[in-house]
Structure 1
Amino acid sequence: MRTPGRKSPDGERRGGTVNHGAWHRTVLRRIRRAGGAVLAGVVLVALILGGCGSPGSGGSGGEEQVLNDNIGSEPPTLDPALMTDLTSFQIVNSVMEGLTRIGPNGVEPGMAAEWGVSDDQMTYTFHLRDAVWQNGDPVTAEDFVYAWLRVLNPETGAPYAYQLYYIKNAEAYNSGEITDPSQVGVKALDEKTLQVTLESPTPYFLSLTAFPTLMPVHKATVESNPDWAGEAATYVGNGPFKIAEWVHDSHIDLVKSDTYWDKDTVRLEKMHIVMVNEGATAETMFANGELDSNGSLNPQDIPQLLASGEAKTSPIISVTSIYFNTRKAPFDDPRVRKAFTLALDRKAIVEQILKGGQKPALAFVPFGIPNPVTNQDFREEGGDYFQDADVETARRLLAEAGYPDGQGFPKVTYLYNDNDTNRALAEAYQQMWKQNLGVQVELQSMEWKVFLAAQKQGDYDLSRGNWVGDYLDPMTFLDLWVTGGGNNRVGWSNAQYDRLIEEAKATGDQQVRFQNMHEAEKILMDEMPIGPIFFGVNVYQEKPYVKGVFRTALGTTDYKWAYIEGKGQ
C-alpha cells in the first residue's frame, strides 16, 4: 500500500515465528477461539508485531476516553474497493472489518467467528458471527460475495483487484475472459457461511482476508448512492467505530459503534483525527496537548525528539523509491533510469536528512521477510543489486544514452506529495542529480489525493514512490510490476518477469516460489523502472497515557484496543 511519507516515510519488519503446518493439514477443522486467537497465515504473523502498547488488562479509571490523532492528510477515498493508500486504510480499519483482523496475537476473528481449510489448502470455509452493520442490518456471507465481485468487476476499476486473483477464476473475470461472476470461487452457502476456492495453495491467504480490499460493503448503500463513501452521513460500516463528522481537509471524528459485535472490548468513546501535514505545526500541537499522537514530524527534529523520548519508532516493512515513467523519453531508456538511481547517495540521505534509523536500499524488497525453506531473510539471500552513490557508472550510462555530462538532457520534473520529509528529500535528489549528472530537475509538489491521481494517470516524468507490504511475503512487493497491474504506475512491462511472477503464484512449492521471486527481482533491478532509495521505519509521537494502540509492521495502526489511562498525572 502507498503511504504519503508521514507515519512511515520508510519501513522495516521484525517479530517471532509460528508453526502452522498441522493447522493447514486439518480437513475443514473449525478453528475455535476462547481467551485468545489462534495464529494463522504461515509467515504472515512472523513479523507482524511491530509496535504495540499492551492491549491487555488495565482500566480507564473513569477517565474521558477521547483520543486526538493526526493522520497528516485527507483520505483520498474510504471505499474499500478503490483505496490504495495507508491514510485511507487507517480510517477504514476503524470503521470496517473483514473476515479476520490483524491483532496482537496475529490473525484474529473478525466477521468470521471460525473457519476451516481443506486438506489441499484450496478451499476455505468461513462461518460468520451474528454481527450487524451500523444501521442494524445483518452482515451476511452475501455481503462478502457482493463486495469481492464488485472489486473484480472490470467496470469498478479497482487498483487492488489483483489481491483477489488467488481466488478461482477471479483474474479471468476481472480481465473479461469470463463474464459470468458465478464462476468465481466465492460462494454464500447460506446466510452465515462463506466458501472460498483458490486457484492454488496460498500460504498468506488468511491474512489477506483482513485487508481492506476484501472487506464487505453494504450493498443497498453502495447501489443507492455512488458517492456513499465520501461523507459521514452516507457511510455505513461494520467496524469498532463509526464516522460522526467529516470536515474535508480538516478532520474526521469517529465515535464508538454501539452495534459492533465486540463493542465491550472497545474502550475509546471518540477519536478526533486531524489532517496536519506540516511537521512543525503538528509537533507544536502535540507539545501543547492538542494531539495525543502524531505522525507528522519535521525530519530535522527527529534526532532530538528520539533522544528526549518525545518520539518513538516501530518497525515497518516499506521501501521508498523513485518511480520513472517508462512510457516516455527520456526514462524509456533503462540507462537513464539507472544513471538517476546510481547518482544518489543513500547513506547521506538516511544519515543527514531522515535521521530515524532508515537503511539505504540497494534492492527493492525490504529486509524482514523470511524464506520458510532456508529460514534466511529474503533480502539477505538476494543481497545488493548495485552500489550506493556509484557516480562514475551513473555518468557513463548517461553518456551512453546520449547525454554526456547532462548535455542535451530534456526538461524533467520530479513529482512528490508535499510534506516536510518529502520536500527535504526532493531537494536532496535535485542537488545530487545536478552535481553528479549535470542535470537540472524541476520539483513539483501536490496534495496527497491529487498526487495519487496524477501518478495513476501517468502524468509525470519521475516521482516519489513508497510501498508498504500488504502481507508478509516478497510477492506483495514484486507483483506490483506485472504488465498492466493495478498498482503499476510506471508503465513498465517485461514478459519474462510476468512469467516468473505467474509461476510463483501458481505453485505451492516454496523453494520454486522464492527462486522465481529472486529471479524476478534481478530483472526488476536490471531494468530499473523504479530506483530504490531507503528501507523505512515508523517514527511517531504518542503520549504516555495512550495505551493499547496496536501498530503492525504492515503499516496499519489499530485503535480497537486503545484507551486513555493516567492523563493529567
Structure 2
Amino acid sequence: MFRNGYKMKPIIATLAGLMLIVALACAGESATPTSKPTNTPAPVATATSAPAATVPAGATATEVPVPAEGPELTSMETYMQSSGYMPEWGEPKTGGIFKWRVSRNNSNFSPNMSGTTHGLFNMPRYGSLIRFDPWVGFTSIIPDLAKSWAWNDDMTTLTFQLYEGVKFQNIPEVPESYNGGKVRGDEFTCEDVGPSAERHVRPPKWETTLKKGQRSLWHLTGVTCPDGPLGYTAEVHFEVPLGKTMSALAQGLMVMLDKDWLEWYNTEHPAGMTKGTNEAYHLGMGTGPYIPGEFKSDIVGEHRRNPDYHRDGLPLADGIDVVILKDFTTAFTALATGQIHVMGRGSWSMTPAQVAQAQRDFPDRITVHPNAHLFGYGVGFNVGRAPYDNPKVRQAVQLAMDRDEWLLLRDAGELPGGMKMLALVSGTPWSYSVEELEQMRGIRDKLTPGGQEDVAEANALLDEVFGEGNRELEISCMAAGVEYVEDCLLFADMMKKNLGIKVVMESVEPAVGTDRSKTGAYEMNSGAVAASTDFGDPDDYLLPKISTRYNANSSAVLRNLEALKVNEPELMLWLEDTIDKQSRELDFVKRHAMVRELENKIYYDLALYIPFGQRMAFPGTGPAVKGYRLFDLSLYSNWSIWERVWLDE
C-alpha cells in the first residue's frame, strides 16, 4: 500500500408511493408545484472547461509529465491539492452507498467499454496507466497505475514506472490460478501491460464491440519489460509519434488486466462478458476501487468497496448502486425525494423541463451540473444523391441554417441548453471560442447584418445551381428516433424561411434509420451526426468522419467519403493529407494552426454535415453528494471520479 496518491434493497416499491406525493411537481414546467414556490434557483455547479488557448496535457514534444512526490499526504489529501477541488465541499467522509441512476440495462460488461451506460457499470472496477484529473479535464494528466513516465528522444517509446504492491482484485468467480500463473490477487507488474494494450488496440475477433482502441492507439506496436516481466518498468512502443498519444492513454479505456486472467478468459469464456447477466458481471477482474456486487436485470448493478485497493482510504464510499430507472419522471422523483443521489450521465440526465422544475421547486434538494455533451447535433447529407453531390448546394444550406433558433429550443429554465460549434465540438483546447464563433460566417446570428449576408450568399449559391429564384428542390429529412424529430422540423422551418426550400420529415425507428444509412436510402438524416470527441483531440473526429485511411469509419460514413473522393478528389486529397500531417505534428502551435485550417475547409467547403450545435447535459445531485464535479465533454473520460466522491449524510 502507498499513502502518497501520486508515489440494496430495490427502491422501486418505495418510489411508487413517493410518486403520489411529488408527481405533480415532477411532471414538467406546467405542473403545479407541491412545495412552496421560491425565487431561489437550484444551485448550479461550476463546470470546468478546457480553455481554447490552453495546451492540452502532454500535447507537446518537450512536455514530460512527472508527478510530484508528497509522502506526508494521503491519497485523498493529494487529490485535494488539485485545482479542481472545491473547498465548499468540506472534509471528505467515508461510508454510504451511492445510488446512481441509469435509464436502461447494460448489455456488455467487457473491459475497455465506454458509453453512457457501459461506463458506469464497467469502469469502477478497473485502472489504467494514467488518467485525466476528473475535476480538471483535458489539460491535466495524473498518475493511475504508473507513478511517472518519460519519452525517448524521438517520441516513439514511452517508459512508465509502475507503482509497486498493486494487486488485482479477489473475485470469487475468477480462479486463483490458470496454467500455472497466479490470477486472483496477483500483483500488477510489467508482464500485464503488454497483453492489456494488445486487447485494447487489437482485440480478439469475438470482441466485436471493442473499436475505440483500434482508432485512437493504432500506432501502439508493443510493450517491453527492461527489468523483466515481474519488474515495474514498462516501455510502450509506437510506430510513429502522434500528438494525441498522451490524451488517448489518459482517457483510461486501455485498462490494465492480469495476463493470466486474459488467458483464462479468452480460453474458457471468450466473449463471456458481452451479455447482460449476473454471471457476465462477475467475470471481470481489475485493479480499481470497486468490485462487483450483484447485478439484477432491470433493477440494479452493485459495486462494492475493493478491500485490497492500493490507495489508502479510498474509495470513500462503501459502494455504488447503479439503479435502473427507465422512466425519467420516476428518476426525477427519486432524486427530489433523496432515494437516489445522482441522476445523470449524458443523454439520460435531467430533461430541460426537469431542470426548470429543480430550479423552481427544489433548490435545496437538487444541484444542477451543466455539462457540454460529447456530440454535435445537426443533419448530414447523402452526397451520393443529386443535387447533394454539388458542394454549392451543401454550402448554401450550411450558411442558411439559424443556429440561434436551435439554441433557443434547448434552454433549460434559466440555463442555456446548448452551445455553438464549427466542424469540431466546442470546449476543447483546439476549439474556437464562443466569441470567435459568434463572428463567423454561417454561425453568426441571422438577425444581424452579418447573418443576413450569410442568407444572401446562400441564395446566390442556389441561384448559380438552379437558376435565379428557382427553388423547386425538395429535401427529405430522416429522423431515426423521436428525439430527432424536433431538429428535422426546425431545419424545415429554417430552409423554407431563408432559402425557400421545402423539407419533408420522415420519422423512422432507429433500426430502420441505421439500415437506411448503411445502404444510402436517404437524402438527409438528423441526429448526433455532426461531430464528437472521446478525449478532446481533433483525431477523435477527423479520423472516423473525414479520412478513409485508418479503417475507422462506419459503413454509412465510408459510403459518403468514397463518393466525395470521386466528386471532389482535390479537396478530399488535401483533407486526408493535412489530417495525416496534423496528427503527426507534436508542436501545439503548429498543430493548432493546421486544425483551424482543416476545420474551416470541412465546414465551409466540404459541408458534409450541417452542425446545429452541441447540447448541454444536466446531471443532478442531491444535497449529500460531495466531490462530484464534471469538466465539459467528460462523459467518456472521467472514470476516476468514482473513488473520490463522498456522501455527507
Structure-1-length-normalised TM-score:
0.76
Contact kept, 8 Å, 1:317 with 1:469, in 2: the verdict is no
Measured in 2, the distance between the counterparts of 1:341 and 1:443 equals: 22
2:545 alignment partner AA: W
The yes-or-no answer on 1:97 pairing with 2:137 is: no
Inter-CA distance 142–307: structure 2 relative to 1 (3 Å threshold): farther
Distance 1:28 1:565, change over 3 A: closer
| Stretches of structure 2 lacking an aligned partner (at least 5 in a row) | 1-46, 76-81, 172-184, 447-453, 562-571
Deviation at 1:552, TM superposition (A): 3.0
2:403 corresponds to 1:346: yes
How far off is 1:98 after superposition? 0.6
Q: Distance in 1 between matches of 2:265 and 2:595?
A: 41
Greater mean deviation of Cα atoms: 186-195 or 18-27: 18-27
Aligned counterparts, 1:242-281, within 5 A? 242-248=291-297, 250-262=299-311, 264-276=313-325, 278-281=327-330
1:541 is the counterpart of 2:603 = no
The answer for the alignment partner of 1:131 in structure 2 is: 166
1:58 aligns with 2:92: yes
Change (3 A) 1:257 1:36: closer
Aligned residues of 2:60 and 2:243 also touching (Cα < 8 A)? no
- Structure 1 residues 84 and 59: CA distance shift in structure 2, 3 A: closer
SS in 2 for 1:559: helix
Note the alpha carbon deviations across 1:404-431, whole angstroms, 9 max, x for none: 9875647552224x66xx5654554465
- 2:223 pairs with one of 173, 182, 186: 186
Given that residues 422 and 611 in structure 2 are in contact (C-alpha distance below 8 angstroms), is that contact kept between their aligned partners in structure 1? yes
Q: How does 1:79-94 map to 2 (within 5 A)?
A: 79-81=110-112, 83=113, 85-94=115-124
**1:132–1:261: 8 Å Cα contact kept in structure 2?**
yes
Describe the SS at the equivalent of 1:215: coil
Residues 21 and 406 of structure 1, relative CA distance in 2, 3 Å threshold: closer
* 1:320 corresponds to: 376
**1:162-241 correspondence to structure 2 within 5 Å:** 162-165=215-218, 167=219, 170=220, 184-189=221-226, 190-191=229-230, 192-202=232-242, 204-217=244-257, 218-219=261-262, 220-225=264-269, 226-230=271-275, 231-241=280-290
Determine if contact 1:50/1:315 at 8 Å carries over to the other structure. no
Q: Match for 1:486 among 552, 560, 569? A: 552
Q: Secondary structure at the match of 2:250?
A: coil
For structure 1, which segment, 212-221 or 49-58, has the greater mean C-alpha deviation from structure 2 after superposition? 49-58
Deviation at residue 53 of structure 1 after TM alignment: 8.3
Summarize deviations over 1:264-290 as a string: whole Å, max 9, x none. 211212222234454333212212322
Residue 142 (structure 1) shift: 3.4
Q: Quick check: 1:12–1:537 contact (8 Å CA) kept in 2? A: no
CA 1:188/1:90 → structure 2, altered by over 3 Å: closer, same or farther?
A: farther
Would the aligned equivalents of 2:478 and 2:488 in 1 still touch at CA under 8 Å? no
Mapped to 1, the partners of 2:474 and 2:63 lie a distance apart of 61
- Residue 117 of structure 1: which of 151, 171, 176 is its match? 151
Cα contact 2:376–2:425 (8 A) shared by 1? no
Partner of 1:364: 423
Amino acid at match of 2:49: R
For residues 373-388 of structure 1, the aligned pairs below 5 Å read 384-387=440-443
Q: CA deviation at 1:344?
A: 4.0
- Confirm or deny: 8 A CA contact 2:400 2:442 kept in the other structure: no
SS at match of 1:228: coil
CA change 1:36–1:339 in 2 (3 A) is: farther
Aligned to 1:305: 358
User: Residues of 2 paired with 1:274 and 1:498: CA distance?
Assistant: 44
1:563 CA drift (Å): 1.4
CA pair 363-222 structure 1, distance change in 2 beyond 3 A:
same
CA distances 1:132-152 after superposition (whole Å, capped 9, x unpaired):
332423333333322322333
1:261 to partner: Cα distance: 1.8
- What amino acid is the match of 2:216? Q
Q: Structure 1 residues 446, 306: CA separation in 2 closer, same or farther (over 3 Å shift)?
A: farther
- In 2, Cα distance between equivalents of 1:210 and 1:337: 37
Cα distance change on mapping 1:86 and 1:468 into 2, 3 Å:
farther
> Equivalents in 2 of 1:443, 1:211: separation in Å?
36
Match of 2:78 in 1: none
Q: How many residues align structurally?
A: 517
After TM superposition, the score normalised by the length of structure 2 is 0.67
TM-superposed deviation, 1:71: 2.9
Kept in 2, the 8 Å contact 1:71–1:274? The answer is yes
What's the offset of the Cα at 1:311? 4.3
Asked if residue 555 in structure 1 is aligned to residue 555 in structure 2, the reply is no
Q: Percent identity?
A: 20
CA contact (8 A) 1:362 1:384 kept: no
Amino acid at match of 1:133: F
| Counterpart Cα distance in 1 of 2:631 and 2:243 | 19
Cα gap change, 1:196 to 1:56, in 2 (>3 Å): farther
CA distance in 1, matches of 2:56, 2:389: 45
Q: Distance in 2 between matches of 1:306 and 1:28?
A: 41
How far apart in 1 are the matches of 2:237 and 2:434?
Answer: 32
Change (3 A) 1:509 1:495: same
- 1:517 is aligned to 595
Q: Deviations over 1:496-530 (max 9, x none)?
A: 21111111122223333122211211221121222
Q: Distance in 1 between matches of 2:461 and 2:187?
A: 61
Instruction: Decide whether aligned partners of structure 1 residues 27 and 433 sit closer, same or farther in structure 2, where only a CA change above 3 A counts.
Output: closer
Matched, 1:148 2:192: no
| SS class of match (1:440) | strand
Change (3 A) 1:291 1:22: closer
- The residue aligned with 1:329 is 385
Contact 1:243–1:255, Cα closer than 8 Å, also in 2:
yes
Question: Does the alignment pair 1:291 with 2:291?
Answer: no
Bigger mean CA deviation after superposition, 114-123 or 377-386: 377-386
**Kindly tell me: are residues 302 and 402 of structure 1, through their superposed partners in 2, closer, same or farther at Cα, counting changes over 3 Å?**
farther
Q: Deviations over 1:28-61 (max 9, x none)?
A: 9786564389xxxxxxxxxx9779787773324x
Aligned counterparts of 2:593 and 2:313: Cα–Cα separation in 1: 47
Please tell me the residue identity of whatever aligns with 2:100.
Answer: D
- What are the Cα deviations for residues 204-229 of structure 1, in whole angstroms up to 9, with x where unaligned? 53333232432234412244321324
Q: 479, 494, 500: which is aligned to 1:414? A: 479
Alpha carbons 1:475, 1:517 under 8 Å: kept? no
What residue number does 1:505 align with? 583
Task: Kindly state the Cα deviation for residue 297 of structure 1 after the two structures are TM-superposed.
Answer: 1.9
What amino acid sits opposite 2:215 in the alignment? Y
Bigger mean CA offset, 309-318 vs 523-532? 309-318
1:444 to 508, 516, 519: 508
RMSD over aligned CA atoms reads 4.2
- What's the offset of the Cα at 1:378? 6.5
Name the CA distance, whole Å, in 1 between partners of 2:385 and 2:624.
53
Query: Once structures 1 and 2 are overlaid, which stretch shifts more, 23-32 or 93-102?
Result: 23-32
